[in-house]
Amino acid sequence: MKPDISSQEDIKLLVDTFYNKVQTNATLGYIFNDVAKLNWDEHLPKMYSFWGSLLLQEHSYQGNPMQIHVELSKITTMSSVEFSEWINLFYQTVDELFEGEIASEAKIRAANIARLMQHRIEIIK
Ligand code: HEM
């Protein structure tokens, strides 16, 4: 039986494993590395804080992911293809490392946010 997500170390493992997959993914990798030219040392701590706030009630994340992704969609394709791939990789990562209530919650929250993001992106076109 795998553990559930219950600590900051778990969040870090989840985020690090997920973005390792993203970076080498044929559909998503170039958006992070070539389009956004992301500084991973800055991005990863933001993502620890985002997921820690959603799943462990850390209240440390301050940001506006919706706006950031709407802006991103103006310079690169952010369609159902990219969102499906993102969700697939996220589900795969959660399932390979964790199981339990918070692990399920992570997948539900991710899917809901992805759906809302995609909707916001579609209505500004
Ligand atoms: C097609 C799917 C997605 C792509 C290609 C994508 C790509 C990116 C990129 C390139 C950034 C960095 C933007 C920058 O700092 O310049 C970013 C930031 C971020 N993404 Fe995504 N993303 C996707 C979906 C999602 C989803 C579904 C979530 C949430 C469940 C999410 C959460 C975040 C958060 C919290 C940030 C940090 C925002 C901040 O700076 O405060 N992303 N994303």
**Does the CB atom of residue 68 touch ligand 1 within 6 A?**
yes
Using CA positions, which residue lies closest to atom 27 of ligand 1?
114
**Does the CB atom of residue 89 touch ligand 1 within 6 A?**
no
Whether 3 maps to a domain, the answer reads no
* pLDDT for res 24: 96
Nearest to 80 by CA among 108, 110, 32, 114: 114
Domain harbouring 26, CATH code: 1.10.490.10
* pLDDT for res 125: 72
Which residue among 35, 72, 109 has the greatest number of ligand 1 atoms within 8 angstroms of its CB, and so is best to mutate?
72
Whether 2 maps to a domain, the answer reads no
DSSP state of 79: S
Whether 91 maps to a domain, the answer reads yes
Residue 38 is part of which domain span? 8-123
Give the N- to C-terminal CA distance of the chain in Å, as an integer: 45
| 61 CA closest ligand 1 atom index | 41
Whether 1 maps to a domain, the answer reads no
DSSP state of 50: H
Whether 64 maps to a domain, the answer reads yes
Average pLDDT per block of 10 residues along the chain, 125 residues long: 97 98 97 96 97 96 95 96 98 98 98 97 87
Tokens of 123: 């209505």
* pLDDT for res 25: 97
Count of domains for the chain: 1
